[in-house]
Structure 1
Amino acid sequence: MKLFTIIASMSAALCVALGAFGAHVLEGRIPERYIDTWQKAVQYQMFHTIGLFLVALLATKWPQVTPAGWFMLAGIVLFSGSLYVLSLTQIKILGAITPFGGVSFIVAWLFLTYVAIKQM
């Protein structure tokens, strides 16, 4: 599916930019704890960006996988997005949003599993 390929490509580019920003701009400007949080956000965004590419590839044969892609995108926004904002603002309550992103990631992978099993 072309849309997920576009979203994943943009997300991958953003991961590289955000990773570099964290390493070169934020280093020394925010506490090390929040640098680690920033890097965790980049890492999970990239993992699930690869998942979005997988969904794009699988959708050509199994169109019913597309909800997995939307859950991955929601997870990126909620999980990684909340950690980026938390790192920059250090407002700890924002960490309460992060688990919703984690649940979205889990649902995405379980949905992908379900679709694959149905194809057997």
Structure 2
Amino acid sequence: MTVERLWIAIAAVFGGTAVAAGAFATHALQPQLSDRLLAVFETAARYQMYHALALLLVALVRSQGLGAPGLLTASGWAMIAGTVVFSGSLYALALTGQGVLGAVAPIGGAALMAGWGGLAVAALWGSGEESKF
């Protein structure tokens, strides 16, 4: 199995569970959580969906040879790790109310930003072709 196929499968799982999380928030959690914690949960689901789509993009770019494969590999794994840590910590915070879990989210956010940065660098300077700028 190629890394691109693995990422597509992970992106599909992320996307499907983000939809399920949003439905769960709307139908089961809304009466149970404060508005603040419900917003935290919804932020987790929204960012999970954004990065499911971003991971699909990284897989597509890598499969088409449109950037440096090593940077794209790092970018994809950073997005996966960042999604798990960022969204996971926010889900846990919303469901438990343990504020210390919110301190973990920036680590995931940094990984997500690194993933986007890696994608940008890989696309602009890593293809082995001269820039068309």
Which residues of structure 2 form unaligned runs of 5+? none
Q: Output the TM-score relative to the length of structure 1.
A: 0.96
Q: Which of the numbers 62, 66, 69 marks the counterpart of 2:76? A: 69
Structure 2 counterpart of 1:116, from 104, 107, 123: 123
1:82, distance to aligned residue in structure 2 (A): 0.2
CA distance in 2, matches of 1:57, 1:2: 10
Q: Which moved more, 1:36-45 or 1:63-72?
A: 63-72
Percent of residue pairs identical: 39
Greater per-residue helix proportion: 1
Query: What does 1:41-120 align with in structure 2 at a 5 Å threshold?
Result: 41-60=44-63, 61=65, 62=67, 63-64=69-70, 65-118=72-125, 119=127, 120=131
For the pair 1:25 / 2:33, whether they are aligned, the reply is: no
Q: Aligned pairs, how many?
A: 120
Larger C-alpha radius of gyration, 1 or 2? Answer: 2
Q: CA RMSD in A?
A: 0.9
Determine helix, strand or coil for the equivalent of 1:28: coil
- Determine helix, strand or coil for the equivalent of 2:33: coil
* Deviation at residue 79 of structure 1 after TM alignment: 0.6
Deviation at 1:66, TM superposition (A): 1.4
Q: Which runs of 5+ in 1 are unaligned?
A: none
TM-score by length of 2: 0.87
Residues 2-53 of structure 1, C-alpha deviations (whole Å, 9 max, x = no match)? 0110000111100110110011000110111100000000111111111100
